[in-house]
């Protein structure tokens, strides 16, 4: 799909791409944490012959770790998004100037 020049200049289009990128990062990060927890738990259980103990413990511990890291990624991304000029065309200053 080709992007037109109009799409590239549209700030809403850029914001949508940024949001999709953040969702992609958060999804990959969550998947990575779950896989590391699962593989680490299976390896520890095999090493210490404690079949489900470490796997379950690491999987449960991965939930808050994943949530905290998701929060940090989203907050980092929202700080990087520059807010648009929120000046409304019907503000009192504009109305006074137009008179």
pTM for this one? 0.72
Domain extents in the chain: 30-80
Nearest-5° Cα angle at 27, 73 to 34: 100
Which pLDDT tens digits describe the chain residue by residue (99 residues)?
A: 555 666 667 888 888 898 999 999 999 999 999 999 999 999 999 999 999 999 999 999 999 999 999 999 999 998 888 665 555 555 566 556 655
């Amino acid at each position: 799909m080709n992007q037109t020049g109009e799409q590239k200049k549209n700030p809403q289009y850029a914001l949508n791409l940024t949001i999709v990128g953040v969702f992609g990062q958060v999804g990959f990060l969550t998947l990575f944490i779950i896989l590391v927890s699962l593989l680490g738990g299976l390896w520890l259980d095999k090493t210490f012959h404690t079949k489900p103990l470490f796997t379950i413990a690491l999987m449960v511990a991965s939930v808050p770790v994943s949530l905290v890291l998701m929060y940090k990624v989203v907050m980092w991304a929202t700080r990087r998004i520059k807010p648009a000029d929120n000046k409304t065309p019907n503000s009192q200053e504009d109305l006074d100037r137009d008179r």
